[in-house]
A and B are shown apart, each in its own frame.
Chain A
């Protein structure tokens, strides 16, 4: 019976092999511990035997059920999605969609796991919803309850000691249900040490707690170009006692904040003034994140000393980084618009393998493209830098909040309000579930003094992987400027002078002549095949080289 759970997509032959199994049986088994679903669905017996296409199967299933219920349809769609994956990506990671409560503008701004196994979802219009049994797959019976409302655009949630901490536009608050009614009745202000005006741009994103128990809050500038209120364009740490510590300047327009596996804090910053492209930036206390428009607040941040040097518009990031010691270059650029156009929330895979073979990597949302990107980083000369890769597209709305559940699966909240997004839904909450098979992908990309080392999720075919013609590489950087964004400039084409494939086929070394400091190294691998003869699911990597390997 176990075989029934095995994905059926492995080939039409496989599908036929399972063909004798009635769909109802598949579903009943598939639903596992949820007998109510099967009963509600009242599914008729249906044979796959003669059904080769999705449309045929769907038609037959619907014909067999003259008055299909919503549950039945949901069940059917999910099964069809699994058996007839629409895209290559669907074969490895499925996107399941939660049905949202009727008539509720549920734009997930932040997500958090509650000790009782519920998922807390805060929304842009200021509600906090609780979703019971969020790990149900497929999610046919979402049970929603409203925990709190009337808050101001909550873009951060973190649970600690019976309190749900939330980052609103104007403050970090903590909420508690003291009466056991299921709804919060205490709304305490933890910290409100920053300024806000009436501008839409002044978002505040809050992290989970770091190893010292601090919450980090990144504060968007007032508009694209100014900091009109206290600490706009800064990161503050909020201590367990509720005190604020000015931590980093130079923030422009964050889309998300979180930690990597080592517990170091990062945020995504968006293309715009002083940001040639969207990027992932490492928040180190005392450092300057690159946009000087908020540096007028240095006199208030006495712990950080006097105002730092201003960058010169029209320069390059690494030129300025050598001049301004506090300037920390972005760890990873997301080339615009190749990778995305609005980097947002992210998760770090700490599931120890239950989310596929990319342990401890980051999965970063993009709001415009409604995608997740994948990031692997390393420390070079003591600073984080690394590569990003395409990972998964096709979310229903612009990805904003991204969170990993305790079983390793990912939750992705989407919204297209104010900024258009692919997907077509105004908002959504979706569940990204690994199907148990890791695609053939670049696993990690490491800088070496003379090139790059690539590791792969499967052994590569030494012939194709060893051929220079299988690769294309170019480099470029961005103008570091006060104007909006930047084209790719200073382009170069390095030469691959040698390739060494490891005996186990799991890694290879590219010897490269012409690595460029401060450049994105865009690598395409159209010719590389796995030992099984498969192409890479995503044959592209973008490595941000700020510092040379020594």
Chain B
């Protein structure tokens, strides 16, 4: 019954006006933030006068009313209490009253014995509000002496446990990866619209977490209450146990439900500690590393950045693409003995072990390549382990197998497992059923009135034997029963004086309680009961309060502003949406905003019954009949939507095609969702109907910005767009959306392309030569990065939309040259080549100049040495190559230097040429009889070319064929 300090403070503030608030705000940022808080949680100020249980959140009954206070209580408090406490379950009421208050159905207890541990049931029944502050569950045993109470609780627990038989909790496997996944889901899909966040949304969010804890629907002691499996099962279909819809389905997939459950119950693993019982956990254990490696051997000396479990060999836990590694370990359970072939496709390298035996060796730096290994395995368990790394660019891994006589396929996840830490409910208690206690529990369930609220499912219903006066016969002037001070034999709800008086008020005016609601009030009431207002605003009521708003995010950081993360307002939504679309949203998971992380929950038909119709009745204006569309309207509409018209597709997706920019709503959903009148009103002035929208008007003040299509007539343009979009998914994709390549071709002279080139970095300079040899120079690291033959590059990706992302070479025979600096002084022959390159190694790009055939000569400096790096494409059979000339000039005598020409798995001298990995041939013309040297470093070969040290200048000429 404690009243948090905050509540007291809120109470004192009472109904201060927003003007006061705004004055306060100006004083200091600190006060300001506090005041915003107060405004956001203003509901508390009102509801704290009606606290249901003393604890404020309980008063709001899960309805985080937030901004509602600004326009007064939306639903009379007494009626709200009457419905949410389900008073009418015992105090019979007329159908008219039931229709008005929409009483809240208590949880169905059919499988509560499986869902909830005996220790939790025991604690909850002994003192509901202590176990779960704010619960609407009354204390039915108040006033009994300790012994009698304990016996009654025991009997009830026995009875509930008997409903689904024994319930030895099944331990779940603990995985930090799942906890992390669950944390993200819990804080993004919408759970925290009602429940308290458990982690700050951003910098400085700790204050918000603390405050929101007081204003949220409590979760109770979940770690004691249930298991991961049971919670996950509940989360996937909460309406089965809780048909009231107050806890809606968030449309979680089975995997997501497990992740959220693991997160919410993480205390079970944390307190079990490393000594906890080990259990078999589905999936593999993984370790994730962020480190530059050149083979999987690097993993042995690395420390994992993250660990966890995962259902398959997958790179999904990675936080970046490059310089990463994974190790997966686990058990493979085979049902039959056979010969198995394992296939590993990897970029870069990977190795697979079974029972400690290396089966597939696909190690080393390379583009995606598949390798395989075969072995005989018996039925039963086998240890399986896979190491993987990716150095730069690319990055992929897939594992498959083939049993003799069967097709090649992925290894079924069901066969993979590992041994991990377990999670079981805290305070484990086993229940041994005693038929006598069960029978006693059943009697109590009926006589105490439990049965009045709780259903037990088909076949198991117990009629309530508690007799209470009908609602209409209650005398508000003679307070007794539940509204009196709690005493034995009467349900104790822990009502405050204000709440009692609100209930008395409503009981004393039965006529108003039976009055039917008009459609608008019905909508508001349902939105209050289901807490739609936590996410949506309507007519100035609701919408996310500021501290919670931080948790509304976009998927993949879609650049859509608040429209991408805050659910839309519902002002006159029945006038906006088609009458047949609204039920699809409410009941069929129809959703058109894939960029929004928060999901539209499903409340179930029982909870939303009549809501769709009420929305239409409350909001919709009669539809203006559409004029008959002209035969060419769709054509002009398509022109307007496409590039060259209004280019709606610059932002809007269309029929599953990405837009040219941000992923705004798919236009092919327009006609199935929107009413024509609304659409025609919206387009000319989007901000009028959606304040703050980034959608610009193309008909400012009603005048068409496009003067060409349909003569610039606003009405005709709008109608044409509607006509075009009316074809829905069948509408022909507008011009400009399906990107076509823009191939750059060197014909008379080289073509230069400075952009993001895959494998050559963010400051790449690609050069295509008429000879059909191409290169890319990495101006971040001052190195030749790529060589390839044939077609140069497709500039489409960079020139069709905003220009993001790396474009790979378009041609063939792509050679990736080694990372690291081109030149180094080596203190001795065994010293490794330095890793630092670019500015970190003292290099500076100086640009390039074009020779008389407009071929670039790259210029850069390091250590006071100026380098000119020139390339001449030379025709050769079967493919062209380059003659590269590196000229060095120094202010003083050049120090002894090496140029690293190649790194490979093999380097051999054959007929005067150095052959790298069997397919790159390098020939050198060096001054003073110097000779390149081949050396082996960390398992790979390097070709080092000495730079002449005779004076201030030096030159290396290298012919490169591949």
Binding site for B on A (CB under 8 A): 86, 105, 124-126, 149-153, 168, 170-171, 173, 184-189, 192, 196-201, 223-225, 271-272, 310, 312-316, 319-320, 323, 337, 341, 368-370, 393-394, 416-426, 482-485, 487, 490
Q: Are A150 and B753 in contact (CB under 8 A)?
A: yes
Of residues 790 through 834 on chain B, the ones whose CB sits less than 8 Å from some CB of chain A are 795, 798-806
- Looking at the assembled complex, report how far the CB atom of B740 sits from the nearest CB atom of chain A, in whole angstroms: 13
Q: Is B403 an interface residue (CB 8 A)?
A: no
Q: Are B33 and A171 in contact (CB under 8 A)?
A: no
Q: Are B661 and A185 in contact (CB under 8 A)?
A: no
User: What residue of chain B has the Cβ atom nearest to residue A178's Cβ?
Assistant: B849
Q: Is B36 an interface residue (CB 8 A)?
A: yes
Closest 7 CB pairs of A and B: A150-B752, A200-B804, A418-B802, A420-B650, A200-B802, A422-B705, A484-B561
Residues of A within 8 A of B557 (CB): 223-225
Kindly specify which of B163-171, B417-425, B686-694, B915-923 makes contact with the partner chain.
B686-694
Interface string of B630-659 (1 = CB under 8 A from A): 000000000000011111101100000000
Of residues 751 through 768 on chain B, the ones whose CB sits less than 8 Å from some CB of chain A are 751-756, 762-763, 765
Other-chain contact of A314, B22, B36, B754 (Cβ < 8 Å): B36
Q: Are A337 and B25 in contact (CB under 8 A)?
A: no
- Looking at the assembled complex, report how far the CB atom of B654 sits from the nearest CB atom of chain A, in whole angstroms: 13
Q: Is B779 an interface residue (CB 8 A)?
A: yes
Binding site for A on B (CB under 8 A): 22, 25-26, 28-29, 32-33, 36, 202-204, 546, 549-550, 557, 559, 561-562, 564-565, 643-648, 650-651, 660-661, 687, 691-692, 694, 696-698, 700, 705-709, 751-756, 762-763, 765, 779, 795, 798-806, 844-850, 854, 856, 859
- Listed residue (B25, B709, B795, B805) with the most chain A CB atoms within 10 angstroms of its CB: B25
Q: Are A369 and B700 in contact (CB under 8 A)?
A: yes
Instruction: Give Cα distance in the complex from A105 to B707, angstroms.
Output: 22
User: What residue of chain B has the Cβ atom nearest to residue A195's Cβ?
Assistant: B762
Residues of B within 8 A of A271 (CB): 561
Q: If the complex has contacts A319-B26, A370-B705, are A149 and B752 also in contact, measured as CB distance less than 8 A?
A: yes
- Listed residue (A171, A225, A418, A485) with the most chain B CB atoms within 10 angstroms of its CB: A418
Q: Are A171 and B763 in contact (CB under 8 A)?
A: yes
User: What residue of chain B has the Cβ atom nearest to residue A491's Cβ?
Assistant: B22
User: What residue of chain A has the Cβ atom nearest to residue B36's Cβ?
Assistant: A314
Other-chain contact of B696, A223, A316, A337 (Cβ < 8 Å): A337
Instruction: Give Cα distance in the complex from A105 to B692, angstroms.
Output: 33
User: What residue of chain B has the Cβ atom nearest to residue A226's Cβ?
Assistant: B557
Q: If the complex has contacts A314-B36, A316-B32, A426-B644, are A198 and B696 also in contact, measured as CB distance less than 8 A?
A: no
Q: Are B801 and A417 in contact (CB under 8 A)?
A: yes
Other-chain contact of A315, B33, B795, B806 (Cβ < 8 Å): B33
- Listed residue (A126, A150, A185, A310) with the most chain B CB atoms within 10 angstroms of its CB: A150
Residues of A within 8 A of B848 (CB): 187
- Looking at the assembled complex, report how far the CB atom of A406 sits from the nearest CB atom of chain B, in whole angstroms: 30
21 pairs, CB–CB < 8 Å, chain A vs chain B: A125-B798, A126-B754, A168-B754, A171-B763, A186-B847, A198-B804, A198-B805, A200-B802, A201-B802, A312-B32, A312-B204, A319-B25, A337-B687, A337-B696, A368-B696, A370-B705, A417-B650, A418-B661, A420-B647, A421-B647, A483-B550
Instruction: Give Cα distance in the complex from A368 to B754, angstroms.
Output: 28
User: What residue of chain B has the Cβ atom nearest to residue A342's Cβ?
Assistant: B696
Q: Are A418 and B650 in contact (CB under 8 A)?
A: yes
Residues of B within 8 A of A272 (CB): 561
- Looking at the assembled complex, report how far the CB atom of B236 sits from the nearest CB atom of chain A, in whole angstroms: 32
Q: Are B562 and A485 in contact (CB under 8 A)?
A: yes
Q: Are B696 and A420 in contact (CB under 8 A)?
A: yes
- Looking at the assembled complex, report how far the CB atom of A147 sits from the nearest CB atom of chain B, in whole angstroms: 13
- Looking at the assembled complex, report how far the CB atom of B147 sits from the nearest CB atom of chain A, in whole angstroms: 55
User: What residue of chain A has the Cβ atom nearest to residue B22's Cβ?
Assistant: A490
Q: Are A423 and B705 in contact (CB under 8 A)?
A: yes
User: What residue of chain B has the Cβ atom nearest to residue A153's Cβ?
Assistant: B803
Q: Are A416 and B754 in contact (CB under 8 A)?
A: no
Instruction: Give Cα distance in the complex from A6 to B126, angstroms.
Output: 96
User: What residue of chain A has the Cβ atom nearest to residue B28's Cβ?
Assistant: A319
Q: Are A224 and B705 in contact (CB under 8 A)?
A: no
- Looking at the assembled complex, report how far the CB atom of B187 sits from the nearest CB atom of chain A, in whole angstroms: 16
- Looking at the assembled complex, report how far the CB atom of A391 sits from the nearest CB atom of chain B, in whole angstroms: 14
Residues of A within 8 A of B561 (CB): 271-272, 484-485
- Looking at the assembled complex, report how far the CB atom of B690 sits from the nearest CB atom of chain A, in whole angstroms: 11
Residues of A within 8 A of B763 (CB): 152, 170-171, 192, 196
User: What residue of chain B has the Cβ atom nearest to residue A418's Cβ?
Assistant: B802
Instruction: Give Cα distance in the complex from A310 to B202, angstroms.
Output: 13
Q: Are A185 and B850 in contact (CB under 8 A)?
A: yes
Instruction: Give Cα distance in the complex from A126 to B766, angstroms.
Output: 13
Q: Are B650 and A323 in contact (CB under 8 A)?
A: no
Q: Are B29 and A341 in contact (CB under 8 A)?
A: no
Q: If the complex has contacts A150-B751, A199-B804, A418-B803, are A125 and B795 also in contact, measured as CB distance less than 8 A?
A: yes
- Looking at the assembled complex, report how far the CB atom of A116 sits from the nearest CB atom of chain B, in whole angstroms: 22
Residues of B within 8 A of A86 (CB): 707
Q: Are A424 and B804 in contact (CB under 8 A)?
A: no
User: What residue of chain A has the Cβ atom nearest to residue B26's Cβ?
Assistant: A319
Instruction: Give Cα distance in the complex from A192 to B753, angstroms.
Output: 18
Q: If the complex has contacts A171-B845, A196-B762, A424-B647, are A483 and B804 also in contact, measured as CB distance less than 8 A?
A: no
Instruction: Give Cα distance in the complex from A485 to B845, angstroms.
Output: 39
Residues of B within 8 A of A223 (CB): 557, 559
Residues of B within 8 A of A422 (CB): 646, 696, 698, 700, 705-706
Instruction: Give Cα distance in the complex from A198 to B807, angstroms.
Output: 10
Q: Are A484 and B705 in contact (CB under 8 A)?
A: no
Residues of A within 8 A of B805 (CB): 198, 200
Residues of A within 8 A of B643 (CB): 426
Instruction: Give Cα distance in the complex from A151 to B766, angstroms.
Output: 10
Residues of A within 8 A of B203 (CB): 310, 313, 482
Q: Are B696 and A341 in contact (CB under 8 A)?
A: yes
Instruction: Give Cα distance in the complex from A421 to B204, angstroms.
Output: 37
**Assuming A150-B752, A170-B763, A337-B687, what are 15 further A-B pairs, CB within 8 angstroms?**
A124-B803, A126-B755, A152-B754, A170-B762, A189-B779, A197-B762, A198-B762, A200-B803, A201-B804, A223-B557, A224-B559, A417-B800, A423-B706, A424-B647, A485-B694
Instruction: Give Cα distance in the complex from A323 to B646, angstroms.
Output: 45
Q: If the complex has contacts A150-B753, A341-B696, A482-B202, are A316 and B25 also in contact, measured as CB distance less than 8 A?
A: yes
User: What residue of chain A has the Cβ atom nearest to residue B698's Cβ?
Assistant: A422
Residues of A within 8 A of B806 (CB): 198
Q: Are A417 and B204 in contact (CB under 8 A)?
A: no
